[in-house]
Structure 1
Amino acid sequence: MKAIGYKQSGPITAVGALVEFEAPKPELRSHDLLVEVKGISVNPVDVKVRSAMAPEAGQTKVIGYDAAGVIREVGSDVSRFKVGDAVFYAGDLTRPGTNAELHAVDERIVGKKPTSLGFAEAAGFPLTSITAWELLFESLGVKEGSGEGESLLIIGGAGGVGSVLIQLAKQLTDLTVVATASRPDTVEWVKQMGADHVINHRESLVDQMKALEIEPRYVASLNGTEGHFPAIVELIQPRGHIALIDDPQGLDINSIKPKALSFSWEFMFTRSMFQTDDIEQQHVLLNRVSALIDDGTLISTVTNNLGAMSAEMMQEAHAQQESGRVIGKNVLDGFDS
Structure 2
Amino acid sequence: MKAVAAFGKYPIEDVRVLKDVEIDKPVPQDHDILVKIAGISVNPIDFKTRMLIESEDQSRILGFDAIGTVSEIGANVTNFVVGDKVFYLGVNNRSGSNEEYQLVDERLVGHAPKKIMTAEAVAIPLTGVTAWESLFEKLAFVPKKDANQGQSILIINGAGGVGSIAIQLAKWAGIKVITTASRPETIDWVKKMGADIVINHRKDLKKQLDELGIHEVDGILMLHSTELYFNVASELIKPRGIVMSIVATTAELPLSILKNKSNDFKWLTIFTKGIYHTADMASQGATLNQLAKLLDEGSIKSTMTKSVEGINADNLRAATKTVEGGAMIGKLVITGEFDAEV
TM-score bucket (shorter structure): over 0.9
Counterpart-to-counterpart distance in 2, 1:281 and 1:66: 17
Counterparts of residues 235-254 of structure 1 (less than 5 Å): 235-250=236-251, 251-254=253-256
Q: Which residue does the alignment assign to 2:232?
A: 231
Counterparts of residues 195-214 of structure 1 (less than 5 Å): 195-214=195-214
Counterparts of residues 16-31 of structure 1 (less than 5 Å): 16-31=16-31
In the TM superposition, what is the alpha-carbon distance from 1:54 to its structure 2 partner? 3.0
**Does the Cα contact within 8 Å between 1:101 and 1:334 map onto a contact in 2?**
no
Counterparts of residues 61-210 of structure 1 (less than 5 Å): 61-144=60-143, 145-172=146-173, 174-210=174-210
Counterparts of residues 252-263 of structure 1 (less than 5 Å): 252-263=254-265
In the TM superposition, what is the alpha-carbon distance from 1:10 to its structure 2 partner? 4.1
Counterpart-to-counterpart distance in 1, 2:122 and 2:263: 35
TM-score (norm 2): 0.94
**Alignment partner for residue 321 of structure 1, among 320, 323, 327?**
323
Q: Which residue does the alignment assign to 1:218?
A: 219
Task: Please give the secondary structure, in 1, of the residue aligned with 2:26.
Answer: coil
Unpaired segments of 5 or more residues in structure 2? none
CA shift digits 1:276-318 (9 cap, x unpaired): 1111111111111101110111111111113322212211222
Percentage of pairs with the same residue: 43
Q: Which residue does the alignment assign to 1:296?
A: 298
Counterpart-to-counterpart distance in 2, 1:117 and 1:216: 34
In the TM superposition, what is the alpha-carbon distance from 1:59 to its structure 2 partner? 4.4
Amino acid at match of 2:275: M
Q: Which residue does the alignment assign to 1:310?
A: 312
**Does the Cα contact within 8 Å between 1:8 and 1:54 map onto a contact in 2?**
yes
Counterpart-to-counterpart distance in 2, 1:265 and 1:11: 30
**Does the Cα contact within 8 Å between 2:3 and 2:338 map onto a contact in 1?**
no
**Does the Cα contact within 8 Å between 2:119 and 2:304 map onto a contact in 1?**
no
Amino acid at match of 2:152: S
**Does the Cα contact within 8 Å between 2:37 and 2:100 map onto a contact in 1?**
yes
Counterpart-to-counterpart distance in 2, 1:271 and 1:218: 23
Q: Which residue does the alignment assign to 2:49?
A: 49
Amino acid at match of 2:112: K
CA shift digits 1:36-92 (9 cap, x unpaired): 10000111211210112337x954200100000011111111111111111000011
Task: Please give the secondary structure, in 1, of the residue aligned with 2:128.
Answer: helix
Count of paired positions? 335
In the TM superposition, what is the alpha-carbon distance from 1:237 to its structure 2 partner? 2.2
Amino acid at match of 2:99: A
Task: Please give the secondary structure, in 1, of the residue aligned with 2:217.
Answer: coil
Amino acid at match of 1:200: N
Counterpart-to-counterpart distance in 1, 2:200 and 2:309: 33
**Alignment partner for residue 271 of structure 2, among 252, 261, 269?**
269
In the TM superposition, what is the alpha-carbon distance from 1:103 to its structure 2 partner? 0.7
Task: Please give the secondary structure, in 2, of the residue aligned with 1:99.
Answer: coil
Q: Which residue does the alignment assign to 1:9?
A: 9
Counterpart-to-counterpart distance in 2, 1:120 and 1:175: 29
C-alpha RMSD of the superposition = 1.6
In the TM superposition, what is the alpha-carbon distance from 1:236 to its structure 2 partner? 2.2
Amino acid at match of 1:124: A
Counterpart-to-counterpart distance in 1, 2:318 and 2:337: 16
Counterpart-to-counterpart distance in 2, 1:14 and 1:255: 46
Task: Please give the secondary structure, in 2, of the residue aligned with 1:116.
Answer: coil
